[in-house]
Amino acid sequence: MKGKNSAGFFALVISIIAIPFIITNDYYIGVLVFAAFNCLACIGLCLLMGYAGQISIGHGAFVAIGAYTSGILTSKLAWSPWLAMLCGVLIVIVVAFSLGIPALRLKGHYLAMATLGFASIVHIVAVAAVDLTGGPSGIVNIPRLDLFGYVLNSDTQYYYFSWSVVALAVFIAFNLVNSRVGRGLQAIHGSEDAASSLGINITSYKVQIFILSAVFSSISGSLYAYYMNYIDPGPFGVMHSVLLVTMVAVGGLHNIWGALIGAIALSLLPEFLSFLSDYLQVLGIHYQPDYDTLVYGSILLIIMLFLPEGIFDGLASTLRGSKSFYGKLAGRRTGRVQ
């Protein structure tokens, strides 16, 4: 990890540790736990989209596979949650491999199409395979996660655990980005032909990063299942995959920090809107929950219009107000092979 990123990582760790001392209400801690799940999936997706330049509209399906594997194995077969999570990861590796091999060989938007179809299929299986997945009624009685025999009961405990996993994921992601593999991926993003001529095995790189990003999603799904103690197909529809892509795009495609900020921002936005409505109610303005969609849409529109590079890069450039600083601050962008 390089200077600026390690400073950022340090700030992240400090924030993770400090926040429960400032926010003492379990409810908000719970909201941040859900934000952590989205962050985890988005970091993986950012590696794939921002660095390797491949779009996947199917990561919600990997989240679902992780969640369902954990849910089924722990509640029906009484497996240890950790073993079940590992099993979910293995299944996702196999699935991502068999999906990625044919789709990633093709150029253009075939991966997006294949993953979109895949997300749909997984959702249908979750709904229709009643004996296995419980169908629309879902799976109840999923146990909590334990850490060395110590069950993570409170929201704060789960908060620390899930955000530690996020911090670990950020650490892994940055090390990957700044390694030979990362530079190879950036080269592929710039120009596949050029990268290929330099001796980079394009398909192999793409498949590897696709699998890694799927694994991140799978773990996020398992953690979700252990936190909710209940899963059903509802949250794992195609729209969840689209939401993950939106989070990464809103935050900033080309930077891990961007994905993190996008995931946090869009996870907290509904809470913010609910605050807004409380506040307006106090002022005597009748705010309908239906307006949420309008506000949500406008915010996305404004970000995409005025900060097309995402919140992270956009804010960085706005704060500095100068192109020369922008180049420096956006950090790794300058080093990217164009």
Q: What are the residues binding another protein (CB under 8 A)?
A: 4-5, 7-8, 10-12, 15, 19, 22-23, 25-28, 30-31, 34, 127-128, 130, 135-138, 140, 155, 228-230, 232-235, 257, 261, 264, 268, 270, 272, 274-275, 278-279, 281-282, 289-290, 292-293, 315-316, 319, 329, 331
Least separation in angstroms between CB 328 and another protein? 9
- Whichever of 228 and 300 has its CB closer to another protein, that residue is 228
| Location of structure tokens 């989205």 | 38
- Whichever of 210 and 326 has its CB closer to another protein, that residue is 326
Least separation in angstroms between CB 22 and another protein? 6
- Whichever of 10 and 102 has its CB closer to another protein, that residue is 10
The rounded distance, in Å, linking the Cα atoms of 332 and 338 is 12
Spell 24-56 as b/e; 16+ CB within 10 A means b.
Answer: eeeebbebbbbbbbbbbbbbbbbbbbbbbbbbb
Of 171, 116, 163, 159, which is closest to residue 27 (Cα–Cα)?
A: 159
- Whichever of 79 and 257 has its CB closer to another protein, that residue is 257
Q: Which parts of the chain fold into alpha helices (H)? A: 3-22, 26-46, 59-76, 81-105, 110-128, 130-133, 155-177, 180-190, 192-197, 202-228, 238-251, 256-282, 291-306, 311-320, 323-329
Least separation in angstroms between CB 207 and another protein? 31
Of 110, 86, 90, 108, which is closest to residue 100 (Cα–Cα)?
A: 110
The rounded distance, in Å, linking the Cα atoms of 58 and 213 is 11
Least separation in angstroms between CB 265 and another protein? 9
Least separation in angstroms between CB 94 and another protein? 27
Least separation in angstroms between CB 312 and another protein? 9
- Whichever of 76 and 109 has its CB closer to another protein, that residue is 76
Other beta carbons within 10 Å of 315: 16
* CA 336 to chain CA centroid, nearest Å: 23
- Whichever of 204 and 274 has its CB closer to another protein, that residue is 274
Is residue 66 exposed (0-12), middle (13-18) or buried (19+ Cβ within 10 Å)? buried
Of 239, 252, 242, 247, which is closest to residue 267 (Cα–Cα)?
A: 247
- Whichever of 213 and 317 has its CB closer to another protein, that residue is 317
- Whichever of 106 and 275 has its CB closer to another protein, that residue is 275
Least separation in angstroms between CB 130 and another protein? 7
Cα separation values, 310 from 121, 248, 289, 316, Å: 31, 8, 27, 10
Least separation in angstroms between CB 229 and another protein? 4
Helix H, strand E, coil C: the string for 293-313 is HHHHHHHHHHHHHHCCCCHHH
- DSSP letters for 164-179: HHHHHHHHHHHHHHTS
- Whichever of 232 and 309 has its CB closer to another protein, that residue is 232
Least separation in angstroms between CB 122 and another protein? 14
